[in-house]
């Protein structure tokens, strides 16, 4: 299926995990070009860099742009790479960090770092992409990777929830702002997806017990994979979602459907 034929996309945090999965999904659906924008080129989980993989295994052209999403200049460079590759159609603001935290111990620096990456990066990534999309005058799609933590609270990661909750309502606000231009803006809310976002597993036994408990809570009985999020992102980026904007798509195997 070539749902994204002729489309050019930027995926922040596209070297690893969910971003890598989305870049691969877009290529499998015939995207013309994918710009992989990340702080590092090599995937945390191993294997070939995303852009090399796309170039070798698909008809999609792909480049890596070193991009820290806290820098407006870096984001501009990534989006200009998409302009050079045919003109941006799809912006995926995926880069993000997560860690468990004790509310009483969070420092101003830690708070600021999480908000800068998870919220400010999405805000300005959207702003710069929208400037170009408005200039082009033929619509476009902005997809923000939030989390179920952007819909529900959790005392074990209050700053993360605050950043993702802000991202969620920012998404709705931008859908309202850009609707006149035919630009659709949507959020995806992943549940538990198997990536390296929490770092290396140090205690395999504890990880196995955690997995057992987690999968019991999830109606579909498994962790999500990056390709599960790629499917949702491909749908939202494609013409199949032509009348979908300002929406939250939860992709969590049913985890939050009953808790
Ligand atoms: P991941 O495997 O750690 O991948 C995230 C990528 O973003 C990494 O390559 C990371 O690079 C990069 N990144 C971090 N800071 C960046 C910055 N300042 N500028 C540009 N790139 C940066 O994590 P993931 O699980 O795929 O997460 C992707 C998104 O999904 C995040 O927004 C996350 O909050 C969201 N999400 C994930 C889950 C889950 O269960 N995995 C659930 C809900 C939401 P380095 O790590 O090398 O710095």
62 is a catalytic site residue: no
**What pLDDT does residue 211 have?**
94
Ligand 1 contact via 10 beta carbon (within 6 Å):
no
Which of the pair, 183 or 203, is modelled with greater confidence? 183
CB within 8 A of 40, min separation 6: which ones? 15
Query: What per-residue confidence (pLDDT) applies to 200?
Result: 84
For residue 186, name the pLDDT band (cuts at 50, 70, 90): very high
Task: Specify the ligand 1 atom closest to the Cα of 160.
Answer: 34
Residue of 13, 78, 170 best suited for mutating to test ligand 1, as the one with most atoms within 8 Å of CB: 13
Work out which ligand 1 atom sits closest to the CA atom of 118.
32
- What strands, in cross-sheet order, belong to the sheet with 33-38? 61-66, 33-38, 8-12, 90-93, 140-145, 183-190, 248-251
What is the predicted pLDDT for the residue at 201?
84
Q: Has residue 26 got a pLDDT over 80? A: yes
Residue 147 annotated as catalytic: yes
pLDDT digits (tens, 9 = 90+) for 60-113: 999 999 999 999 999 999 999 999 999 999 999 999 999 999 999 999 999 999
The predicted structure's pLDDT at residue 259: 75
With cut-offs at 50, 70 and 90, classify the pLDDT of residue 196.
very high
What's the CATH fold of domain 8-249? Rossmann fold (3.40.50)
Average model confidence (pLDDT) for the chain?
97
Q: Report whether pLDDT(202) > 90.
A: no
Give the pLDDT band (50/70/90) at residue 4.
very high
- Taking residues 43-57, what's their average pLDDT? 98
- CB-CB contact of 10 with 91 (8 Å): yes
% residues pLDDT > 70 (the chain)? 100
Alpha carbon nearest to ligand 1 atom 19, residue: 68
pLDDT reported for residue 245: 99
Query: pLDDT by residue (tens digit) across 209-230?
Result: 999 999 999 999 999 999 999 9
Measured between alpha carbons, how far is 204 from 190 in angstroms, rounded to an integer? Answer: 24
Indicate the pLDDT class of residue 19, thresholds 50, 70 and 90.
Answer: very high
Say how far apart CA 169 and CA 150 lie, in whole Å: 9
Ligand 1 pocket test target in 46, 98, 122, 228 with most atoms within 8 Å of CB: 98
What is the arithmetic mean of pLDDT over 102-129? 98
State the closest ligand 1 atom to the C-alpha of 190, by its place in the atom list counted from 1. Answer: 43
Which is the closest atom of ligand 1 to the Cα of 148? 43
Establish whether residue 195 lines the binding site of ligand 1, counting it when its CB lies within 6 angstroms of any ligand atom.
Answer: yes
Residue nearest to atom 44 of ligand 1 (CA): 147
| Binding site membership of 97 for ligand 1 (Cβ less than 6 Å) | yes
User: Is 160 considered catalytic here?
Assistant: yes
CA distance 43 to 123: 25
Q: What is the pLDDT of residue 218?
A: 97
Pair 6, 12: CB distance under 8 Å: no
- Domain boundaries of the chain, sorted by first residue: 8-249
């Amino acid at each position: 299926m070539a749902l994204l034929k002729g489309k050019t996309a930027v995926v922040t945090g596209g070297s690893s995990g969910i971003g890598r999965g989305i870049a691969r999904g877009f290529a499998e659906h015939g995207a013309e070009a994918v710009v992989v924008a990340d702080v590092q080129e090599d995937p945390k989980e191993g294997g070939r860099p995303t852009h090399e993989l796309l170039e070798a295994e698909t008809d999609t052209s792909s480049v890596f742009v070193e991009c820290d999403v806290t820098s407006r200049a870096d984001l501009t460079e990534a989006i200009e790479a998409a302009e050079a590759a045919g003109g941006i159609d799809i912006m995926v603001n995926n880069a993000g960090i997560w860690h468990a935290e004790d509310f009483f111990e969070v420092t101003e620096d830690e708070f600021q770092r999480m908000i800068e990456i998870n919220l400010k990066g999405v805000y300005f990534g959207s702003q710069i992409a929208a400037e170009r999309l408005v200039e082009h005058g033929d619509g476009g799609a902005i997809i923000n990777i939030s989390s179920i933590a952007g819909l529900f609270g959790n005392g074990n990661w209050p700053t993360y929830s605050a950043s993702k909750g802000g991202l969620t309502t920012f998404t709705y606000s931008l859908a309202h702002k850009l609707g006149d231009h035919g630009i659709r803006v949507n959020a995806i809310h992943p549940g538990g997806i198997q990536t390296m976002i929490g770092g290396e597993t140090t205690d395999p036994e504890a990880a196995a017990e955690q997995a057992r408990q987690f999968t019991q809570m999830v109606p579909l009985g498994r962790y999500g994979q990056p390709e599960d999020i790629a499917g949702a992102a491909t749908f939202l980026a494609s013409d199949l979602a032509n009348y979908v904007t300002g929406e939250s798509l939860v992709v969590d195997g049913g985890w939050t459907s009953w808790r």
